[in-house]
């Protein structure tokens, strides 16, 4: 997955299947990249997608 393909739907679908969507949103809202990473790993999100999500979290943090 690269930035042009990324919409978050795969991540959200996998998090929903594990019942962790709210926890993930809490982690992203508080810029807790470690927790967000852990939740995505538990939801079996692949490493490249996790890296994309974390990079986007960090980029959005720099904009504020």
Mean of per-residue pLDDT scores for the chain: 85
Mean pLDDT of 27-47: 95
pLDDT greater than 70 at residue 47: yes
**pLDDT for the residue numbered 1:** 46
Extents of the domains making up the chain: 9-62
**pLDDT for the residue numbered 14:** 92
**According to the 3-state scheme, what is the secondary structure of the chain?**
CCCCCCCCHHHHHHHHHCCCHHHHHHHHHCCCHHHHHHHHHHCCCCHHHHHHHHHHHHHHHHCC
pLDDT greater than 70 at residue 49: yes
């Amino acid at each position: 997955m690269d930035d042009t393909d990324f919409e978050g739907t795969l991540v959200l679908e996998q998090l929903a299947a594990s019942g962790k969507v709210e926890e993930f949103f809490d982690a992203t809202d508080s810029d807790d990249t470690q927790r967000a990473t852990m939740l995505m790993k538990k939801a079996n999100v692949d490493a490249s997608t996790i890296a994309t999500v974390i990079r986007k979290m960090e980029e959005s943090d720099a904009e504020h």
